[in-house]
Structure 1
Amino acid sequence: MKINSKKIINALFLVFIILMIYPPTKVYFIRLVSFAPSEIENKAQKEIGNYQWSLKGLNAPDINFEKVKGKVVFINFWATWCPPCIAEMPSIQKLYDTYKEKITFLFISNEKWEVINKFYKEKGYDLPTYHSVNQIPSKLEATSIPTTYIINQSGKIVVAKQGAANWNSKSVKRMLDKLLAGK
């Protein structure tokens, strides 16, 4: 029996499409293609400017964004239903475990705490998560999720990444170490 190569290609394409619709497979694929984010050039870095932002802690104390002035801050906007968000979470948890004493981590979601808590328990995550109480500073407004910002001690956005990334990479750690050293 002769198999037509066009039929094989079509069948493989169909299998690929079906697998991409299935969320766990989609998450795995996104992890495979996620790269470390790059730092914004100095002259293109924008200052936050507005620190008038209150956050309600879901599993962490409430925080006024004013309190993070002068610190390195990692902000991630995410949701439990978002495959790219889920894909980057293992690398974020590892980064958090390494830098939680040196960097302020803020994970922002608009989902109910019960949903987030269940997700964290299932996956073994313990990331400090918040709801925004008031308007997010305009320089930090996310148009899609995941969106992650890294802010230096001077209040400049040095990383603005939309989409999944490998946050536990050597290049990210080098950048964070450099920021912590004030460079």
Structure 2
Amino acid sequence: MKKPSLSTIFFSIFIILMIVPQTRMPIQEGISKIRVALFSPSALDEDQQTQLEPFTYRLIALDGTPADVEIGKGKVTFISYWATWCPPCRAELPSIQELYTDYGQMVDFVLITNENPDVIRKFLNKKQFTLPVVLPQMETPAALLERTIPTNYVIDKTGKVVIKEQGATDWSSDKIRETLNLLIGA
């Protein structure tokens, strides 16, 4: 009988670790962090930017208070659809937190999830995130509806989708900051 090669042994161990739930999440999150380190979103080409009709996104904060956000009514908006159980979402949240820390007063940040508020609060506390996480109180607008998380949008003051990005990415990059500075007029 042939002795297995070292690469076969490592591959087998990797497969086993991906099957076990306790090790799968950290491995997937680590792989997603590599993507975050390598990719930063760019503004869409002008012909790919979608113009939304101004609307009020009906939302509720984790404490149960209304947290409605006006989209396309004079303020730049960052929308993120995410979940605590999603490894790519977890991988990009530190960069979103950095961006929120620096731009939270100038940009409406809206991190939308459908999870249990207790689960979300526990996750945010553990990671020491201060992000404005909200729960939707209406159907997702058709122009923002995607089946993939994370899906993130940067929407300008008039409601134009300037950036749309699916998958983990670096939201605290110089490229994103330059785009936000242009959009807010800084």
Q: Same fold (TM over 0.5)?
A: yes
Shift of the 78–95 alpha-carbon distance from structure 1 to 2, 3 Å rule, reads same
- Percentage of matched positions with identical amino acids: 37
Match of 2:44 among 35, 40, 44: 40
Query: Equivalent residue for 1:78?
Result: 82
Q: CA deviation at 1:146?
A: 0.7
Match of 1:27 among 26, 29, 38: 29
Hey, what's the Cα distance between the residues in 2 that align with 1:53 and 1:150? 15
SS of the aligned residue for 2:149 comes to: coil
Shift of the 176–67 alpha-carbon distance from structure 1 to 2, 3 Å rule, reads closer
Partner letter of residue 124 of structure 2? Y
Q: CA deviation at 1:15?
A: 3.3
Hey, what's the Cα distance between the residues in 2 that align with 1:42 and 1:88? 26
Q: CA deviation at 1:59?
A: 5.0
Q: CA deviation at 1:121?
A: 0.6
Match of 1:115 among 116, 119, 142: 119
Match of 1:12 among 5, 10, 16: 10
TM-score, normalised via structure 2 length:
0.87
Shift of the 50–174 alpha-carbon distance from structure 1 to 2, 3 Å rule, reads closer
Shift of the 37–20 alpha-carbon distance from structure 1 to 2, 3 Å rule, reads farther
Task: Extract unaligned runs of 5+ from structure 2.
Answer: none
Cα deviation, 1:33-73, whole Å, max 9, x if unaligned, reads 22111211112100122514311121585233336611110
RMSD over aligned CA atoms reads 2.1
Task: Extract unaligned runs of 5+ from structure 1.
Answer: none
The answer as to whether partners of 1:76 and 1:106 remain within 8 angstroms in 2 is yes
Hey, what's the Cα distance between the residues in 2 that align with 1:116 and 1:65? 20
Hey, what's the Cα distance between the residues in 2 that align with 1:37 and 1:20? 28
Paired residues in the alignment total 179
TM-score, normalised via structure 1 length:
0.88
Hey, what's the Cα distance between the residues in 2 that align with 1:86 and 1:167? 13
Hey, what's the Cα distance between the residues in 2 that align with 1:97 and 1:18? 39
